[in-house]
Amino acid sequence: MIHPRDLSLSSYYYELPPQLIAQKPIEPRHDARLLITPKRGDDLSSIRHSKIWDLVKELRAGDLVVINDTRVLKARLKVRLTGGGVAELLLLEPKGDGNWLCLAKPARKLHPGDNLFLDSLEQKPISLKVISKDFQTGGRIIKFPANCEDGEKIEGLLERYGEVPLPPYIKRHAPFDSQRYQTIFATRPGAVAAPTAGLHLSNDLLVELTKLKVELARVTLHVGLGTFRPLETEDLTNVQLHSEWAEVREDVIEAIARCRSRGGRVIAIGTTTVRTLEASLLVGEGKLVPYAGFVDLVIKPGHQFGVIDGLLTNFHLPKSSLLLLVSALIGRERLLAIYQAAIERKYRFFSYGDAMLILPSAVQVEARL
């Protein structure tokens, strides 16, 4: 039963002490803390406090772990303006023919027809052009060289001129971020933010899970504006997200079928993986089908999950679409109470922070198809 407050944005606010916002990652990756949510019906005294490495105890033979294999682009660019001064671009998504939708700061300085220049030490300046305004996002459509038509083809340019777009709440930047703000399985360039739950998985941990006969499958969702921009509308009844490109391949569907046939559990690593799989089910009208295209699915209380059984996820920002998704699994009030318990235990929050594990036994009965 959905409570009216479940569809009010203000109901997803919580107070977080600033010192609990993680400024750097834990090393090794699998040494981050892990909060294991209680079984449905159990009180919060049943919360278990563990480490990511202990997934080897929580997962079992026959389970399927699904990860997002997107790779974060060095999508933050400093540009020189024709009339003097500088601005910053954050690439969001390709629009064809070398055109990219970008957020700009300050956007008021960038007008259609303006020329911009990318400069970097020991690199030849590259000329860009402002094509138009994008009224949905407040961004700009920017013309890059014609061969920069997608994430894979523009990545070489961004490696020379760009920076890793760390979230604004991470105040320090370090050279290791270009590698550490990537999952170990990041192979498909196109994201402007990391699928952060996946940052916790190490090579050593994956080796151990493989020994346990836990299977691994990969989907892709290029994390963009839809994931990381805060929600702004109080009434969440018809809330919309900016679309993001995603792909579910045939091998993933086959892996899920094998998992079901052997009685295993499908455990998603991160909310982006959940959205990708559930969107594929929606496209197939209740059947999981291969899909490659844009996804704007909003998962909120009342959603019934048809693919995933459990979830490994980070601790998310207040009033974010990610909180809505996790609330759909375990309930809003329960989630916020668990977050308060995590705050009291001084868990680390957001992108470089700790994680929580929602096993199938913790998922609301009404949240399943």
Residue 150 to residue 188: CA distance in whole angstroms: 11
User: Hey, what long-range contacts does 205-209 have (CB within 8 A, 24 or more apart)?
Assistant: 205/29, 205/30, 205/52, 205/53, 205/55, 205/56, 208/56, 209/55, 209/56, 209/59, 209/65
Closest CA to 354 of 73, 74, 54: 54
How much of the chain, in percent, has pLDDT values that exceed 90?
A: 92
39-58 pLDDT per residue, tens = 999 999 999 999 999 999 99
Q: Cα(first)–Cα(last) distance of the chain, in Å?
A: 14
Q: Identify the pLDDT of residue 120.
A: 85
User: Residue 226's pLDDT is what?
Assistant: 79
Q: Quick one: pLDDT at residue 292?
A: 97
Residue spans of the domains in the chain: they are 4-72+180-367, 76-161
Read off the pLDDT of each residue in 113-118 and give the average, rounded to a whole number. 96
pLDDT given for residue 228 in this prediction:
79
Find out whether 311 and 276 touch, Cβ atoms under 8 Å. Answer: no
Please report which confidence band the pLDDT of residue 227 belongs to, taking 50, 70 and 90 as the band edges.
confident
Same fold, 4-72+180-367 and 76-161: no
Task: Look up tokens 């052997």; give the residue.
Answer: 262
CA pair distance 52, 20, nearest whole angstrom: 18
Write down the pLDDT at residue 301.
Answer: 97
57 conformational bin, left if phi > 0, alpha if psi -120 to 50, beta if neither? alpha
Return the closest-CA partner of residue 299 out of 229, 246, 239.
Answer: 239
Average pLDDT over residues 213-231: 92
pLDDT score of 173? 84
CATH H-level superfamily of 76-161: QueA-like (2.40.10.240)
Neighbour tally for 189: CB within 10 Å: 21
Residue 352 has pLDDT above 80, yes or no: yes
280-333 per-position pLDDT tens digit: 999 999 999 999 999 999 999 999 999 999 999 999 999 999 999 999 999 999
pLDDT tens figures, 123-159: 889 999 999 999 989 999 999 998 999 999 999 999 9
State in words which class domain 4-72+180-367 has: alpha beta
Please check the confidence at residue 121 and state whether its pLDDT lies above 90: no
pLDDT surpassing 90 at residue 74: yes
Sequence length of the chain is: 369
What band does 36 get if pLDDT is binned at 50, 70 and 90?
Answer: very high
Q: How far apart are CA 234 and CA 240, in angstroms?
A: 12
pLDDT tens, position by position, 155-204 = 999 999 999 999 999 998 888 999 999 999 999 999 999 999 999 999 99
pLDDT tens track for 79-107: 999 888 999 999 999 999 999 999 999 99
**What pLDDT, on a 0 to 100 scale, did the predictor assign at position 122?**
79
90: tokens are: 């954050």
Average pLDDT over residues 269-278: 98
- What pLDDT, on the 0 to 100 scale, is given for residue 83? 82
Mean pLDDT of 241-249: 94
Q: Is the model's pLDDT at 1 over the cut of 80?
A: no
